[in-house]
Amino acid sequence: MNSPGVRRNVGTGMNALLIDRYHTVRRFTEKLCEPLSAEDCSIQSMPDVSPTRWHLAHTTWFFETMVLAEMPGYQVFDPHYGYLFNSYYNTLGAQFPRPQRGLLSRPGLAEVLDYRRHVDEQMERLLSDEGGRLTAQLSATTEIGIHHEQQHQELILTDIKHVLSHNPLAPVYRSGKSRPPSSLTTPGWSDFGEGLRWIGHEGSGFAYDNESPRHRVFLEPFAVCNRLVTSGDYLEFITDRGYTRPELWLSDGWRTLCERGWNAPLYWVGQDGGWLQFTLTGLREVDPTEPVCHVSYFEADAFARWAGARLPNEAEWAVAAEDQPIEGNFVDTLLANGAGIHPSPGNPAAAGKPAQMFGDVWEWTASPYVAYPGYNPPPGAVGEYNGKFMCNQFVLRGGSCATSSNHIRRTYRNFFPADARWQFSGLRLAR
């Protein structure tokens, strides 16, 4: 998939930084779509998955609606797009039903790319501050839109993986150089003492509203495993009949397992007594040294129970990660190195320190996704971004191999329902 270019103005100061950031993120979205055909971009394989073409249009709609439409005299590209590409912003009007996005053959991919080019041109004029129209509020909303697009970059990857996995040809999204063989790191534990700790975002850097306010939590003594749970660990759980023992499962988890016939992580395929897994680089054998991936909260909790441990709560994860560098396998670094977009085996942890806290897989925590003490959603449509989802979801931390390295933060709170498996989600044990 190729997109027309956009002219670049040379700005100064903060405007230039915002213009560069805007275009860098927009180009990276289209880079992720380069291996895809127009047919690939139109499929919706389940209600939680959106067609790639929809992601390309929705992120563009966000900038048009939240930023450009605030300027006097701006004419929207197509008045129908507000209905087709609004995701869940009820204050902005009705939305086309999410489970039916794959039924939309029009506008086609070429038209969506024209839409992106049009909005990019208008955004550049605004961000160049022609006529002094760029207010502090529009700059702040643009920054939200940039991070919003990075979230949808990750969704493009998770969604197209689900789409391609249904094709019996097991198509390759993007090939990557193979990794050298790795040995399995022996698990150990990093201990943390009791006490009153601070968690949550503070400072001038960007963060979503759900990461604040910074607040105190009291923690009992705890320990987290120095590495992620691997596919080899998880194979032992499967071999020990983990999917047939109801005593290991939460009630809703056992019901879900029985209804959906789960017997392994999503994308694992039993064959000739072993296991293959579908990846964005095609179908290949399960590597026991890699972090296990595409497991639900229910599966993560059952494994932890089987292992005689538990999942860390959100505050424990935050305290364990607070001194760790934000380094790891992220989508931009993997592509820059010519590697496949897939979790990688970890290196041995430093003494007393947990490894792979960032990148590779989102880590399930035992904490429900709720507001921090003192949280208030911002006014207007932006207030619908995070706050209204604080029900029946669990928090995940740390980012994944589909997350950009300049998008993740120590305070970043991702959230999904307990049965979600199509995200790059894994787990770390605690006790």
Residue 204 sits in a domain whose CATH number is 3.90.1580.10
Q: Are residues 108 and 155 in the same domain?
A: yes
Q: Are residues 132 and 231 in the same domain?
A: no
Q: Is residue 139 part of a domain?
A: yes
Q: Are residues 282 and 133 in the same domain?
A: no
Q: Is residue 3 part of a domain?
A: no
Amino acid at site 36: L
Q: Are residues 84 and 218 in the same domain?
A: no
Domain that holds residue 80: 13-165
Q: Are residues 128 and 234 in the same domain?
A: no
Q: Are residues 158 and 292 in the same domain?
A: no
Q: Is residue 175 part of a domain?
A: no
Q: Are residues 161 and 193 in the same domain?
A: no
Overall number of domains in the chain? 2
Q: Is residue 403 part of a domain?
A: yes
Q: Are residues 121 and 235 in the same domain?
A: no
Question: Is the torsion defined by CA of 317, 323, 328, 331 positive or negative?
Answer: positive
Q: Which of 131, 165, 199 is the last residue of a domain?
A: 165
Element (H, E) at 157: helix 136-165
Q: Are residues 196 and 120 in the same domain?
A: no
Q: Which of 165, 200, 226 is the last residue of a domain?
A: 165
Q: Is residue 363 part of a domain?
A: yes
Q: Are residues 337 and 273 in the same domain?
A: yes
Distance CA 143, CA 356 (A): 28
- Give the other-Cβ count within 10 Å of 183's Cβ: 8
Q: Are residues 209 and 355 in the same domain?
A: yes
CATH assignment of the domain containing 30 = 1.20.120
Q: Is residue 237 part of a domain?
A: yes
Which residue has 């008045």 as its token pair?
79
- Digitized pLDDT (tens) for each residue of the chain, 431 residues in all: 654 444 344 445 568 899 999 999 999 999 999 999 999 999 999 999 999 999 999 999 999 999 999 999 999 999 999 999 999 999 999 999 999 999 999 999 999 999 999 999 999 999 998 667 889 999 999 999 999 999 999 999 999 999 999 999 999 999 988 776 666 677 899 999 999 999 999 988 999 999 999 999 999 999 999 999 999 999 999 999 999 999 999 999 999 999 999 999 999 999 998 999 999 999 999 999 999 999 999 999 999 999 999 999 999 999 999 989 999 999 999 999 999 999 999 876 666 789 999 999 999 999 999 999 999 988 888 887 888 999 999 999 999 999 999 999 999 999 999 999 999 999 999 99
Q: Are residues 136 and 193 in the same domain?
A: no
DSSP per residue, 227-273? SPPBHHHHHHHHHTTGGG-GGGS-HHHHHHHHHHT--SSTTEEEETT
Q: Is residue 236 part of a domain?
A: yes
Q: Is residue 6 part of a domain?
A: no
- Give the other-Cβ count within 10 Å of 291's Cβ: 29
